[in-house]
Amino acid sequence: MSGAVDGPQPGGRAASAPLLGRQAEPTVFELSSPGRRAWSFRSSDLPSWQAHELVPPEHLASEPVALPELSERDLVAHHTRLTSRQYSVDLGAYPLGSCTMKYNPKLADATAGLAGLARVHPAAPAALTQGWLELLVGLGTSLAEITGMSAVSLQPPAGAAGELTGLLIMRAHHAHVGGSGAVRTKVLIPDSAHGTNPASVTLGGYRTVTVPSDHRGCVDMGALRRLLDDEVAGIMLTNPNTLGLFEEDIAEIAQAVHEIGGLVYYDGANLNAILGVTRPGDMGFDIVHLNLHKTFAVPHGGGGPGAGPVAVTEALAEYLPGPLPVLSHGRYHWQTPSRSIGRVHGWHGNTLALARAYAYVLATGGDGLRRVAEAAVLNANWLRQRLRGHYEIPYDRPCMHECVVSAAGLRRTHGVRATDVAKRLLEHGFHAPTVSFPLVVDEALMIEPTETESPQTVAALAQALIDIAATASPEDRHAPRGTPVARVDEARAARRLTATFDARGQG
Amino acid sequence: MSGAVDGPQPGGRAASAPLLGRQAEPTVFELSSPGRRAWSFRSSDLPSWQAHELVPPEHLASEPVALPELSERDLVAHHTRLTSRQYSVDLGAYPLGSCTMKYNPKLADATAGLAGLARVHPAAPAALTQGWLELLVGLGTSLAEITGMSAVSLQPPAGAAGELTGLLIMRAHHAHVGGSGAVRTKVLIPDSAHGTNPASVTLGGYRTVTVPSDHRGCVDMGALRRLLDDEVAGIMLTNPNTLGLFEEDIAEIAQAVHEIGGLVYYDGANLNAILGVTRPGDMGFDIVHLNLHKTFAVPHGGGGPGAGPVAVTEALAEYLPGPLPVLSHGRYHWQTPSRSIGRVHGWHGNTLALARAYAYVLATGGDGLRRVAEAAVLNANWLRQRLRGHYEIPYDRPCMHECVVSAAGLRRTHGVRATDVAKRLLEHGFHAPTVSFPLVVDEALMIEPTETESPQTVAALAQALIDIAATASPEDRHAPRGTPVARVDEARAARRLTATFDARGQG
Amino acid sequence: MSEVPGYVPHTDAEMATMLEFLGLGSLDELFSVVPEALRLVARPAGEAGGRRYLDLPDGLGEPDVLAEVERLALANVACTGWGVAPDAGLVCFAGGGAYDHEVPQVVPALAGRSEYVTAYTPYQPEVAQGVLQALFEYQTMVARLSGLAVANASLYDGASASVEAANLAAAVTGRGSAWVSTGVHPHWRATLATFAAGTGLDLTSAPLVGGTTSWKTPPAPAPAAVVVQHPNYLGCLEDLAAARRAADELGALLVVAFDPVSAGLVRTPGSWGADVVVGEGQPFGTPLSFGGPYLGLFACRLEHVRRLPGRLVGETLDARGRTAYVSTLRTREQDIRREKASSNVCTNQTLIAVACAIQLAWLGTSGLRELALRCARATRYTRERLLAIDGVEPLVEGATLREFAVRLPVAPAVVVERLADDGFLAGVVLGDEGGTGGDYGEGLLVAATERRTRSEIDAYSEALAKVLR
Amino acid sequence: MSEVPGYVPHTDAEMATMLEFLGLGSLDELFSVVPEALRLVARPAGEAGGRRYLDLPDGLGEPDVLAEVERLALANVACTGWGVAPDAGLVCFAGGGAYDHEVPQVVPALAGRSEYVTAYTPYQPEVAQGVLQALFEYQTMVARLSGLAVANASLYDGASASVEAANLAAAVTGRGSAWVSTGVHPHWRATLATFAAGTGLDLTSAPLVGGTTSWKTPPAPAPAAVVVQHPNYLGCLEDLAAARRAADELGALLVVAFDPVSAGLVRTPGSWGADVVVGEGQPFGTPLSFGGPYLGLFACRLEHVRRLPGRLVGETLDARGRTAYVSTLRTREQDIRREKASSNVCTNQTLIAVACAIQLAWLGTSGLRELALRCARATRYTRERLLAIDGVEPLVEGATLREFAVRLPVAPAVVVERLADDGFLAGVVLGDEGGTGGDYGEGLLVAATERRTRSEIDAYSEALAKVLR
Ligand SMILES: Cc1ncc(COP(=O)(O)O)c(C=O)c1O
Ligand SMILES: Cc1ncc(COP(=O)(O)O)c(C=O)c1O
């Protein structure tokens, strides 16, 4: 009747933007219209051989893979609207504990966009990539100094990959020093540890043995000593731990583990708290991984990419994944350590993320790094102090870069859970803290303001949390209101699994 | 009490984002905290002479100018939140009549960011800026072909500046050919003309004489002939005119004006409709300005920068503003036409905007330019046809790139004005059309879908307008709902003028 | 062939459906209102058949367009800095109204957000609070820099701002002339002269004597405005008290074209009694860009606000009582006032104003001062180094901040050419401005911003010394 | 000195106020829980006083940082393309797992939006619909490309995806080994071997015979998976029917590491019966980047979804019944399953996946086909030109799409070195991969993508001929 073209939904309507209507945004598949397109390629002037001349018949696809067909305009509108439905550090505070959602300075974006870094082939000979190798060596050297370690591999692409790399180094070490007869099968992990730690232990071929925390929220030294025997390959710790507390006995712990021939692994997710203040190497750690996407301002990208370099003592350097960039005779080249565990990445790691981290290290410097830790710890302690009396504080002593409070009281009095508090905080214009972690705290809210939030922001965050506690009601279960979507039905998603557009209606 | 630092509002809270709370966003001045800062400069190693050693005492400022003091983090959050409160083409359709809010291809952004264009000093000798001069000549040549004119100046930085430039060329021409005795004091302008036209006429030293439109919405030929005499310097027209209608008598109009020695000026704001279909030069125009920010996809930037080049016939080339880039003996250089009216810009015009337009011309090409006009006109006519019966269509005949409908009927029946329809459209996820323009139409809604909106989007836009008409009610005066702010009190703004933060409370 | 001609999403099938709805048989029929004789034909596959078509090449795909534009970019010798390596570009000592200042990455990152970039003039304030508030903040900062009560939301550039200032003064005073210092940028004076042909404004020059303007011989009849640039084109700080006195004696408005960077160190024009302040905003957030888009700053006393050219954003409330921003005093503007408007500005430079506002907030109070101080130090050092070279003489005396003029024993144009080979853009050649200009004698205008380092300046002065030897 | 150390906004005065609230006298006291002996001192103005401080230079201002990073960037010889002029870079004929494809400007423009870039893993779906929906769309497209029912939201890279695939197969079958084609990228095989040290997985190689894998001699006991790359490292299309048969005979899963670009022309691995498909997503939207961050593609049959590594986004409803997206089947993941999890992946490559989704939608059905076709044409043309040179021999026969291997009369490493002087990255030297590798004999792996033009290929082959002469 109207001569309108059927099918796809309009791509030039912004009703899905929170700015306007808050309808659901159509998927890119619903925006697709057959025959429409955005692509163009370089003109190449090559013979126009057809598909059947280029591909053997048995391989030739009978029909093309269906991808969405959009104009550039609709593609741009779709993603611009999607981003308008997304919270981010650049919009406001993101006090997600253990995640160190600090502000990522814009200069690093420029770094990653440099053609001289971004347009380099990873298999190009070292002679053509001296700048990259110098950058990697520079970053590695800085990280070694910051952690107090001797040697670094930049290959692991994230924290968990760093952990597994470290455990494989541990394994290689024991295999070497202990001979083939060694039966070190266990790795100790505190009950407050992040989930990647035990998972990595399993993948590293070890069995996880849980070390309980004591009343201070730290490793229970007595329990630890009881668990130490010659089947223990080592221990994995964060320090400060995931309660945001500094393990004061760290030197004794390390010594005890070393005494039984074990190694001490440092999960660097919380390194932000101690930059320039103290170093894992000085504490007695043997292996350290860093989350450059936490401490070194590599943006999180909605869940990656990150980078999880591993640093080790001199004794363990020979096991590092290779090849490693090294300087000799004034030129940089690649070299694989003698007893290397092998590659842990297809190429050299998440190199452009490493370049960002290097820019951050240069900009921050030795003076700035310590300032980072000071401000991060100051913010967290101020917040902890401010929340006292409004939330339960399970381990109420000076914290480091984050503090863990509990909504257990609110649950008892109003049926309001930590998750509800988190959702209500969204209504106040803040991202939520981490909830239900660490597992050792009931109704945990793990709050990490980071150093890049101003005192005013931390005060406003505290006030919002206080207001939420003061006005808690069973209605909070329906929070958040006003967000692009209301409380999301997670159970339904699992029950009627719809993980692709094509599975719609089949769930 | 709390040890919180007073004063500034928190910069890390996103409550102002429509995504969340929709509070007002604090001004940058309210986010400011004394002593905080974001700046850094290149290290220069120069002697650190102090201010009093460098500036004579009578000039030295006794206190520094107060600017906001923010961290980079808060500055980024502030503007990221501000942009979340802003509609844009990249979010959805923007059918603002006469403004040609088409999609701006992303490739042009890359162009403008090229260091080889952006880091060039405008006073650098031509020998060092051959690329820029070649680009400008290339763009000028293309625009001459598109408009059917002989020579082009790229200096005028916007449409209105182009108009005034054109009128000064007209003036210079009459001064030259008519001798000093000429008394051409009037410029004719149709009643449907854009406000810049009469304003430019005044600044050009002429008097505006209004030409009425006839029942077709076009220039009333009879009335025009009656107005033509030897005091007339020329006529300014858009074609299609601001009703979106093609002036079919254009050749006769031009001839009639030429007969009395007048010149015919083309306001190129509507050129999008006729690209590759017909040319002002062929219609008999002597002077043309183009809005590159409309037709040539230079983004509007919230109100500029644009670019308003002026193209003229061979006879008028000698009056163009200079210097002009020219090619001779294989090199480009600058040259000022013999009877140039002089400079109309501090340098060479909005050059980076010109580079964007050139990229657009290259990408679109001769084939694409005609396709632009075809799709723009098709969309507008389809929309006009679809709205018939739902809105009054004052001049109901085939339109070009935009159509003008009237809400006069809704006003009579429901007290709903064009403005209310516009505000309601915002709720539907579209930007509003132009309202209350052109002045010759009561309760005008001037709708320009542009060619980059798909048929589906145009259909959805039409449906939204139809739904709005169907559900019109006096309540519409309270639209829009759900936008970052509700209906804005414009009268109050004028009454209690507060044009700076410092004037707050004084209004 | 263009892959997606004109970025048009319509498939042929969709177009056919739409045409059918309109009862049309072809796209050509859409244009039946266009007289046959005026019509071009679509680009023919083979032959034009006698009819004319647009004689332009077919569209190129994105990579080919970018390659072509990049080729052109590489045919320029750009100034060193981000994206232009020290040995591939020119170290910039040129100024003359366009300055090589640092633009931090936050500025393009924020001003480049597509909501700012692809919005129109904020006609619907309910969905334009982003642009409106950014402009409100811009206006506040420009007002503070100028020392006046109110600033508009931008004009095209410094030159056009000075034209608007003269027009405002003429409207306020009802007079028909302006007395303009020769220290005002020659391009701006040329632009003033161009537009004066339309408004009929008479322009008289006030000469520079020893680097600053002499207001000794006032024109008759009394002008609407006394116009002075501070620091002036030769880099010298003007005696604004004298300019104010001259204006007072004539009952004229004082228009000061100021360098906004100077506000980091020297008194604001407003504090000297300026009625209107204009300026070029490029130094704050805009790269050299071969001259545009730049940014016309415009501020005036509150009493003149109803004659303010261009857009003005005001603060108000929305229907729910929340703070909101909106374009205000719209009745001044051309779209409402039409032929009675005193300015025809419509599209202006909003995005550049937003970038400027971002850069100013990035600087803050201390950064602005530091910036001005660093410019002044670099300029002092450069000047001392240059004047130590045999044959280099100051063109004029007078206190300078970021720029100064010298006389050379070799033609300045030749010096610029020769130093380019050594990697320096040596300065702006005086008298080479085109149009008005050439009032200063032969000389070279040398600028040094906060981006210049000691080693660059040393190398530059050595290279210059070599050329002069 | 760093201008704003650590991007910390706090002024000293603000810090003092906050410390006071805490009853602390100094910042050092914040760290009183850190044993004295372990503490570093703040960088001393003058002397270290015997105590250790962080031995790193003070922070640099933004321009100095950028200058330093740019210096490093210029110390590389990058491949030609946007930002690298033809005469300043290398025309890229190297592949081997990293390809020089076009990345249109929309990809960085959209994937670079700060809401995507600066968000965390979407733990709060109510304010993370942007990332979640983009990932849902990504999963759908990866599933379609692979021909399988479900795909996860990304893994680190192709190598790690192949490790996860082997682990999944081991878990599904309860077996402890994998049979891996030598045609699988040597770095991926090396990575498999590294991680097998932890999981105890036994790896056996299946040899390449004449360019494709021979499955003649199955290992005993029966492996969990048969792993094959298609096209393989030498560029040859594999006989996936044979691989499927081999897997069937052994009761093993068939894992296919595919080139997603090939999906534009050839049958999906799913259509050949693959159980798990992995791949490297770099060709879609990610520049060469010296190898990272890249993108691990991972798809499997629906029956294995509860063993899928990494994140999975599902569609659901919100409390008001509107479509919404959320991370689902979270109980598989390490944070809940802990030591029982079959994968430890947490942070993955979300932003790269988003870029991939954007590029795939930009391509659409026709663009994907066109891309694959153009690669195949360029490769065919390059191969013909090269094989026409005296002494250049095919290393293996077999149908190729974007890459092929040749034997040269001169050491390939020398050829690469020499051709770099002529402006070409001639290819990847076989046997030079480090770790596993060197199974192919001496040769050069040559890739030609859609970005290679006839004139580039002609010049390349002429330069090669000259070197070989
Ligand atoms: C304490 C801790 N350890 C390890 C990790 C894992 O790091 P990634 O996510 O980079 O794999 C995290 C990340 O959240 C963490 O917080
Ligand atoms: C018909 C018409 N003429 C002239 C102009 C003025 O152009 P500019 O805003 O670029 O000065 C416009 C802009 O809206 C217009 O629509």
Domain harbouring C427, CATH code: 3.90.1150.10
Q: Which residues of C fall within a CB distance of 8 Å from D104?
A: 62
Token duo for residue D249: 């005979």
Q: D87 and chain B: CB distance < 8 Å anywhere?
A: no
CA distance C162 to C159: 5
Alpha carbon dihedral D102, D103, D104, D107, in 10-degree steps, equals: 160
| Percentages (nearest 5) of helix, strand, coil residues in chain B | 40, 10, 50
Q: In this prediction, what percent of chain B has a pLDDT beyond 90?
A: 92
Q: B179: how many CB neighbours lie within 10 A of its CB?
A: 8
Residues 345-364 of B with CB under 8 A from C: 345-355, 358-359, 361-364
Q: Are C322 and C339 found together in one domain?
A: yes
pLDDT of residue D2: 41
CATH number of B107-364: 3.40.640.10
pLDDT of residue C2: 41
In a domain, C67, yes or no: no
pLDDT of residue D338: 84
**Which residues of C sit within 8 Å Cβ distance of D?**
62-63, 66, 70, 74, 82-83, 85, 102, 104-105, 109, 113-114, 451
The 3-state DSSP class for residue D319 equals coil
Residue-wise pLDDT for B207-254, tens only, equals 999 999 999 999 999 999 999 999 999 999 999 999 999 999 999 999
pLDDT of residue D434: 61
Q: Are D347 and D300 found together in one domain?
A: yes
Min Cα separation C1/chain D (Å)? 15
Tell me: ipTM over 0.90.
yes
Which residues, in sequence order, are bridge partners of residue C91?
Answer: C424
pLDDT of residue D457: 98
| Closest ligand (CA of D120) | 1
Report the atom number in ligand 1 closest to the C-alpha of A238: 1
Radius of gyration of chain A (CA): 26
Helices (H) and strands (E) in chain A, counts: 16, 12
CA distance B408 to B179: 50
> Average pLDDT for residues C188-192, to the nearest whole number?
97
pLDDT of residue A92: 96
Report the atom number in ligand 1 closest to the C-alpha of D345: 11
Helix (H) / strand (E) containing C316: strand C313-317
DSSP code string of A297-360: ----TTT------EEE-GGGGGGS-S-EEEEETTEEEEE--TT----SSSSSSSHHHHHHHHHH
Q: Are D96 and D220 found together in one domain?
A: no
In a domain, C4, yes or no: no
Q: Are C317 and C451 found together in one domain?
A: no
pLDDT of residue C197: 97
Q: Are C401 and C454 found together in one domain?
A: yes
Q: Is D346 in the pocket of ligand 1 (CB under 6 A)?
A: yes
| Closest ligand (CA of B161) | 2
Q: Which residue range is the domain that position D120 belongs to?
A: 106-359
CA distance B234 to B170: 8
Q: B73 and chain D: CB distance < 8 Å anywhere?
A: yes
Residue-wise pLDDT for C75-116, tens only, equals 999 999 999 988 899 999 999 999 999 999 999 999 999 999
Antiparallel, parallel or unpaired: β C225-230 and C177-181: parallel
Which of D312, D337, D359 is where one domain is finished? D359
Which of C312, C330, C359 is where one domain is finished? C359
Q: C243 and chain B: CB distance < 8 Å anywhere?
A: no
pLDDT of residue C337: 84
CB contact under 8 A, A457 and B84: no
What mean pLDDT, rounded, does chain C reach?
A: 94
Q: Which residues of C fall within a CB distance of 8 Å from D371?
A: none
Helix (H) / strand (E) containing C212: strand C212-213
CB contact under 8 A, D62 and C114: no
CA distance A221 to A235: 13
First to last CA, chain C: 57
| Closest ligand (CA of B96) | 2
Measured between CA atoms, the residue of chain C closest to residue A10 is C9
Angle value at C-alpha D155, between D152 and D158, nearest 5 degrees: 115
Q: Are C110 and C98 found together in one domain?
A: no
Alpha carbon dihedral B140, B142, B148, B150, in 10-degree steps, equals: 30
What mean pLDDT, rounded, does chain B reach?
A: 95
CB contact under 8 A, B124 and C77: yes
Cis peptide before B198 (omega within 30 of 0): no
* Ligand 2 centroid distance, CA of B195 (Å): 8
- Helix crossing, A351-387 with D12-21: angle to 10°? 40
Q: Are C355 and C378 found together in one domain?
A: no
| Percentages (nearest 5) of helix, strand, coil residues in chain C | 40, 15, 40
What mean pLDDT, rounded, does chain D reach?
A: 94
Residue-wise pLDDT for B253-267, tens only, equals 999 999 999 999 999
In a domain, C66, yes or no: no
Give the rounded distance of the alpha carbon of C308 from its chain centre.
Answer: 18
Chain A with chain D: Cβ pairs closer than 8 A: 797
Cβ burial of B217 (10 Å; 0-12, 13-18, 19+) is: buried
Min Cα separation B410/chain C (Å)? 21
Q: Are D175 and D191 found together in one domain?
A: yes
In a domain, C62, yes or no: no
Residue-wise pLDDT for C31-81, tens only, equals 999 999 999 988 775 555 567 889 999 999 999 999 999 999 999 999 999
Q: Are C378 and C244 found together in one domain?
A: no
- The owner of tokens 């015009």 is B349
Q: Are C251 and C313 found together in one domain?
A: yes
Is the Cα torsion angle D12, D18, D21, D26 positive or negative in sign? negative
CB contact under 8 A, A7 and B456: yes
Q: Are C93 and B52 in contact (CB under 8 A)?
A: no
Q: What is the mean pLDDT for each group of 10 consecutive residues in chain A (507 residues)?
A: 69 84 90 95 96 96 95 97 97 96 95 96 98 98 98 98 98 86 87 93 96 94 96 97 94 97 97 97 98 96 97 98 96 97 98 98 95 98 97 94 96 96 95 92 96 96 96 95 94 96 84
Q: Which residues of B fall within a CB distance of 8 Å from D88?
A: none
The answer on pLDDT for D1 being more than 90 is no
Q: What are phi and psi of D229, to 5 degrees?
A: -110, 140
CA distance C265 to C373: 7
Q: Are B295 and B272 in contact (CB under 8 A)?
A: yes
In a domain, C81, yes or no: no
Is the Cα torsion angle C114, C119, C121, C123 positive or negative in sign? negative
pLDDT of residue C1: 39
Which residue among C2, C11, C18 sits closest to A3, beta carbon to beta carbon?
C18
CB contact under 8 A, A106 and C109: yes
Min Cα separation C391/chain B (Å)? 24
Per-residue pLDDT band at B179 (split at 50, 70, 90): low
Which of D335, D359, D383 is where one domain is finished? D359
* Mutation target among C1, C38, C184, C419 for the B interface, most CBs of B within 10 A: C38
Q: Are A448 and A99 in contact (CB under 8 A)?
A: yes
Which residues, in sequence order, are bridge partners of residue C209?
Answer: C212
Q: Are C47 and C196 found together in one domain?
A: no
Q: D18 and chain B: CB distance < 8 Å anywhere?
A: yes
Q: D9 and chain B: CB distance < 8 Å anywhere?
A: yes
Q: What is the CB < 6 Å shell around ligand 2?
A: B 98-99, 158-160, 194, 196, 238, 242, 267, 269, 291, 306, 308; C 346-347
Min Cα separation A423/chain B (Å)? 11
pTM of the predicted protein model? 0.97
Residues 233-292 of B with CB under 8 A from C: 245-246, 248, 250-251, 274-279, 282-283, 291
Q: Which residues of A fall within a CB distance of 8 Å from B483?
A: 19-20
Residue-wise pLDDT for A182-195, tens only, equals 589 999 999 989 99
Residues 181-240 of B with CB under 8 A from C: 194-196, 198-205, 207-208
Strands (E), D173-217: 177-181, 202-206, 208-209, 212-213
Q: Which residues of D fall within a CB distance of 8 Å from B38?
A: 4
Q: Are C390 and C267 found together in one domain?
A: no
CB contact under 8 A, C63 and D451: yes
pLDDT of residue D439: 73
Residue B215 carries which DSSP code? T
Per-residue pLDDT band at C334 (split at 50, 70, 90): confident
Residue-wise pLDDT for D83-99, tens only, equals 998 889 999 999 999 99
Q: What are phi and psi of C84, to 5 degrees?
A: -130, 110
Q: Which of A256-270, C405-419, D40-54 is predicted least confidently?
A: D40-54
In a domain, D437, yes or no: yes
pLDDT of residue A436: 87
- Domain ranges for chain A, please list them: 107-364
The answer on pLDDT for D258 being more than 80 is yes
If one counts the domains in chain C, the total is 3
Measured between CA atoms, the residue of chain C closest to residue A39 is C3
pLDDT of residue C354: 98
